[in-house]
C-alpha cells in the first residue's frame, strides 16, 4: 500500500466524520483537525463522568494539581502555570471550588502577597471517587494503540508542544 493510499483512507475517515466533501488543504491541516476532533471526543467522555459530580473539567484539573501539591499547598499563580487547559480565570475557579468546600485558601505567612491553596478532605474524597472510573475510560480510549504506539504518540505530541512553546 502506498503512502498516498494510506493518507487518502485516513482523510476519508475524518472527512466523513465531519461531513466535509472538499479534501483537506494539507496533511498538516488534516492532522490539526484530527487532534481537535480527538481532543473534543476525549473531553466529552471525561466530562460525562466529572460534571455530574458538580465540577467542571477545569475545576477537576485544579483539584488534581492541589492533591499533588500535598499538605503544603501551592500558590495560585503556580496553579495557573500547571493547568492542562490554560485559563485566565483561575481565581474564579478557586472561588467556586472554595464555595463547594473542596479547596481552601490562605495568605502565605512568609509572603503576605502570596495566596496558598490546599485541597480539603472533601476534595480528596471527590477525586478518590473519580480516580477509577476516569482511569478506566482513559485505558479504554487508548485500547486501539499498543503500548509502543502510545509512547510514540506521547513523543510526537511533545515535539509539537515544544515547537509551539
- Give how far Cα 35 sits from Cα of 71, 91, 143, 157, Å: 36, 29, 17, 10
Give the helix/strand (H/E) hosting 37.
Answer: helix 27-50
Question: Angle of helix 27-50 relative to helix 3-17, nearest 10 degrees?
Answer: 40
CA 119 to chain centre: 19
Convert the pLDDT of each residue in 45-93 to its tens digit. Answer: 999 999 999 999 999 999 999 999 998 899 988 998 899 888 878 999 9
Same domain, residue pair 72 and 87: yes
Q: Write the DSSP symbol of residue 52.
A: G
Q: Domain tally for the chain?
A: 2
Residue 7 pLDDT more than 70?
Answer: no
Asked if 42 and 82 sit in the same domain, the reply is no
User: Residues 48, 59: one domain?
Assistant: no
Domain extent, residue 79, equals 54-165
Q: What is the pTM of this model?
A: 0.83
Amino acid at each position: 500500500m502506498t503512502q498516498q493510499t494510506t493518507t487518502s483512507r485516513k482523510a476519508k475517515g475524518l472527512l466523513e466524520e465531519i461531513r466535509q466533501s472538499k479534501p483537506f488543504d494539507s496533511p498538516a491541516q488534516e492532522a490539526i483537525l484530527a487532534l481537535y476532533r480527538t481532543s473534543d471526543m476525549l473531553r466529552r467522555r471525561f466530562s460525562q463522568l466529572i460534571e455530574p459530580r458538580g465540577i467542571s473539567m477545569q475545576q477537576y484539573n485544579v483539584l488534581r494539581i492541589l492533591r499533588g501539591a500535598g499538605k503544603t499547598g501551592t500558590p495560585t499563580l503556580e496553579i495557573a502555570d500547571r493547568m492542562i487547559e490554560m485559563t485566565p480565570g483561575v481565581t474564579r475557579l478557586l472561588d467556586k471550588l472554595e464555595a463547594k468546600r473542596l479547596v481552601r485558601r490562605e495568605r502565605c505567612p512568609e509572603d503576605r502577597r502570596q495566596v496558598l491553596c490546599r485541597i480539603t478532605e472533601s476534595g480528596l474524597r471527590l477525586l478518590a471517587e473519580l480516580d477509577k472510573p476516569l482511569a478506566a475510560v482513559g485505558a479504554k480510549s487508548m485500547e486501539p494503540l499498543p503500548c509502543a504506539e502510545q509512547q510514540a504518540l506521547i513523543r510526537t505530541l511533545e515535539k509539537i508542544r515544544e515547537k509551539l512553546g
